[in-house]
Amino acid sequence: MKAQTAITPELREWILATSRAGHAPQSVVELMRSHGYDPQRSRAAVAEVLKLPPATLLADVGAPLERRTKHPEAPLAKAGDREVRVSMSLDKPALRVLDGLLTGEECDELIALARPRLQRALTVDADGKHQVDRRRTSVGMFFMPGELPLVAQLEQRIATLFDIPASHGEGLQILHYQPGQEYTPHFDWFDPGQPGYSTLTARGGQRIASVVMYLNTPEAGGGTAFPTAGLTVTALRGSAVYFAYEGGDASSLHAGLPVLRGEKWIATKWLRERPY
């Protein structure tokens, strides 16, 4: 394998010609990889020549380009032990609103199990380290994968619904928002241009999709907004919103809107390219 990917005039012209021939940028990167070029340097070269943000090429080079999760299409979808209603579908981002993913009793049990372990929710900084961030003002906790029977049951339900092994999921996170608390617009996928990218993706690879499950219905506010799509998903107990962003889809920008009255409890599951 070549140690470097210098952008020689010949390489620049090849990238441009291949792109003009109808190959998508990620396909150009894949072709370079198949000829022995370093994956990360190939991404950088294609992004520079085609004048693209590096995030548009963040999908793991060498991984299959086909869809890694199944986006439910039918009005009713099988989720293992439950039948879930797909009440809304969106193409960009690939988004589904799912009614009845959890029962009311399951929502209550998750809140009760999480409550004693809550602490200030953190974000990940540019170096891959966890930090307190003023953009995220909730408290939360994580369950280990399969830690409890209910957690394992929910993980298997998600795996069946989206046709992805349960091992590809991060630990289930529970978050609690009080009035005025929010999470301002952000992406769930990791920016390959950040110094901590290799650390964040060393185990499990890149994030490819999120499932946000609503454990209660706030009195007012607290929905999940997708500014690019002009959509806000209402937080309703037992429902969920799933959205995929393979390849770093910028339209997956989203925000947890401020709770206006009452409180909000959610469970979040992030899915990865490979076993986590």
Per-10-residue mean pLDDT of the chain, 276 residues long, equals 63 85 73 75 84 60 54 90 96 96 98 92 55 66 95 96 94 96 92 85 92 98 96 98 91 96 98 92
Query: Is position 65 within any domain?
Result: no
On whether both 96 and 21 belong to a single domain, the answer is: no
Sign of CA dihedral 51, 52, 54, 59: negative
What's the CATH code of the domain at 131? 2.60.120.620
Query: Could you tell me the residue range of the domain that residue 47 belongs to?
Result: 9-52
Query: Is position 221 within any domain?
Result: yes
State how far the Cα of 263 lies from the Cα of 56, in Å rounded to an integer: 36
On whether both 132 and 262 belong to a single domain, the answer is: yes
Query: Is position 67 within any domain?
Result: no
State how far the Cα of 245 lies from the Cα of 211, in Å rounded to an integer: 12
On whether both 37 and 119 belong to a single domain, the answer is: no
Phi and psi at 124, nearest 5°, equal -105, 130
On whether both 154 and 190 belong to a single domain, the answer is: yes
Query: Is position 68 within any domain?
Result: no
On whether both 118 and 255 belong to a single domain, the answer is: yes
pLDDT at 120: 64
On whether both 48 and 97 belong to a single domain, the answer is: no
On whether both 216 and 121 belong to a single domain, the answer is: yes
On whether both 83 and 216 belong to a single domain, the answer is: yes
First to last CA, the chain: 27
pLDDT at 192: 84
Tokens 């390219």 found at: 273
Query: Is position 208 within any domain?
Result: yes
pLDDT at 76: 93
- Coil/strand/helix, residue 130: strand
pLDDT at 63: 41
- Its pTM stands at 0.73
On whether both 153 and 18 belong to a single domain, the answer is: no
**Domains held by the chain: number:** 2
pLDDT at 248: 86
Query: Is position 2 within any domain?
Result: no
On whether both 92 and 28 belong to a single domain, the answer is: no
pLDDT at 53: 65
pLDDT at 41: 79
On whether both 32 and 129 belong to a single domain, the answer is: no
Query: Is position 113 within any domain?
Result: yes
Query: Is position 60 within any domain?
Result: no
On whether both 129 and 226 belong to a single domain, the answer is: yes
Q: Rounded to whole angstroms, what are the CA distances from 5 to 35, 46, 58, 113, 153?
A: 12, 10, 17, 51, 46
pLDDT at 124: 56
